[in-house]
Amino acid sequence: MKRMGLKAACVVGFDGTRHVLWRDGEVVFEGSRIVFVGRGYPGPVDGWTDYGNALIGPGFIDLDALGDLDSTVLTLDNGDERAMGRMWSADYLAAGPRESFSADEEVFKHRYAFTQLIRNGITTAMPITSMYYREWAERYDEFAAVAGVAAELGLRTYLGPCYMSGMSYWRADGTLAHHWDEARGLAGLDDAERFFKDFDGAHDGLIRSALLPDRIQTCTLALLQRTAALSRELNAPVRLHCCQAPGEVAMVERLHGTSPLGWLQRLDLLTPRSLLPHGLYTRGDDDLQRLIDGGASLVHCPLVFARDGEALDSFGRHRARGINFALGTDTWPADLLSNMRHGLNIARLMEGGPSLTCGLDLYNAATLGGAKALGRDDLGRLAPGAKADITVFSLRGMHLGPLFDPLKNLLLAGRGDDCIASYIDGRCVMRDGQVSGVDYPSLQRQAQRQYERLMRSHSDRAFGRPDWKTLFRPAIPFADDYSADAPLSAIDPLP
């Protein structure tokens, strides 16, 4: 194995307790492991790469990583989500749900999304996709192919087919109802168990597996009980979306007489293996104490909720009480720097000032917090013995302004595409902003074609099957009727 060295104006190291900043720093790794972080490495090195005016740091960990062609952006300023056909309608359910994409297209959307994650400095991802566009949930064979895509690109992933025993749908009168299929949910868990046993540790450990039930309100008691038991048996991480909407909280309280976190506690699903996006709607101190006592982690995704005017009541107070936070993107763009910036600003608005949350708290959540949530002390840090998951962010961009503190400049003005190089497990997967082996224009054109198919599928789910073009309003009205005969994406973004 070759011993390689990286240099830059600034390096984020780890002293065993916290991140520390080295000026004119060096990182040396051999194979998949870091052997030195600091200055003046005394040993032999097979080759050096000097990135100059840049920040070398640990790769970001995204535990609600968009693995999809994001559909949430279609709801932006677009009126009633029920009317625009994103969620299922009673008519659609009666006709029989169907896949919006072919099997190959389902795998492609992960290739597109994983490329975006790498481009934004994310080196470890636990993907999330929407079930609204599926016949039911995800499948074993599909994720066997997705694991191959992740390994080819070099992205460290925690994978598994999402499973569920129910789906919410809209009645014609505008009320929300729930369709259940217990047998299908349990069969999905069987697929998830099979995938775990076949793929956990595959590709020299780059691919790990996890149990990924959909949401607390789409899982029956039996499915959650079986999930908890299997998590204990396999020592498997479990990610379960909860406390993300008032309707979800009301439903769980009506059915089970307790809050979502109280329900998970009864089921032994609040453990150090539990990763819980998003935690916005908790029931006071009792719920927070449940998280602390169980050791579960909250996966904070500030940007996607801020778009709808929702926010965590206090990042700083929860963190100070001992709740571990990881970060997730959950939506386009796959930019954790943007989520750190929005998370910082939102926290200070919610907390009434700057005293409870600082920028480093969000950076820690994207690195050390994510590693803790996964039970990994070899990720989220640059230190001897840690995995060589390393990112290089350019500090040359004029948009960053005069440099004061490299991390603060990036948090205040940086973009994910300031990441110019990425190493995962010691392999350089991106150089000069180019992910190895990926034809960006071809990738973007295919994504555009599939996105139009996804948009057309909204007509099937909306009541009355309206023309799909009428379901999406542009921010600025069209000046003529050109859009009537042309797709909304008529201008090729990459000719």
Judge whether 467 lies within some domain. no
- Count up the domains in the chain and report the number: 1
Question: The tokens 């961009």 sit on which residue?
Answer: 397
- Is residue 482 over pLDDT 60? no
pLDDT at 494: 41
Per-residue pLDDT, 371: 98
Q: What is the mean pLDDT of residues 325-354?
A: 97
Residue 277 lies in a domain: yes
Using pLDDT thresholds of 50, 70 and 90, give the confidence band for residue 488: low
User: Tokens for 74?
Assistant: 């279609």
| Residue type at 8 in one-letter notation | A
Predicted confidence (pLDDT) per residue in 185-209, tens digit: 999 999 999 999 999 999 999 999 9
In a domain, 10, yes or no: no
- Note whether residue 279 is domain-resident: yes
Contacts of 106 (CB under 8 A, 6+ apart): 99, 142
More confident site: 423 or 477: 423
Please give the pLDDT value at position 284.
Answer: 87
In a domain, 417, yes or no: no
pLDDT at 493 over 50: no
Instruction: State the DSSP string of 428-459.
Output: EEEETTEETT--HHHHHHHHHHHHHHHHHHHH
Beta bridge partners of 324: 297
Give the model's pLDDT for residue 491: 44
Lowest mean pLDDT segment, chosen from 80-89, 386-395, 411-420, 442-451: 80-89
What CATH number has the domain bearing residue 137?
A: 3.20.20.140
- pLDDT grade, residue 80 (50/70/90)? confident
Distances (CA, A) of 434 to 388, 419, 431, 438, 445: 19, 10, 5, 8, 17
**What digits encode the pLDDT tens for the residues 11-34?**
999 999 999 999 999 999 999 999
Residue 302 in any domain: the answer is yes
Of 259, 264, 265, nearest to 240 by C-alpha is 264
* pLDDT for res 186: 98
The pTM for the full model equals: 0.96
User: Once rounded to an integer, what is the mean pLDDT over residues 404-410?
Assistant: 95
| Residue 306 in domain | yes
Contact 185, 165 (CB under 8 A): yes
Domain membership of residue 223 as a residue range? 58-380
Share of the chain above pLDDT 70, in %: 97
In a domain, 333, yes or no: yes
Torsion, Cα 147 149 154 158, to 10 degrees, reads -30
Q: Does residue 490 have a pLDDT over 50?
A: no
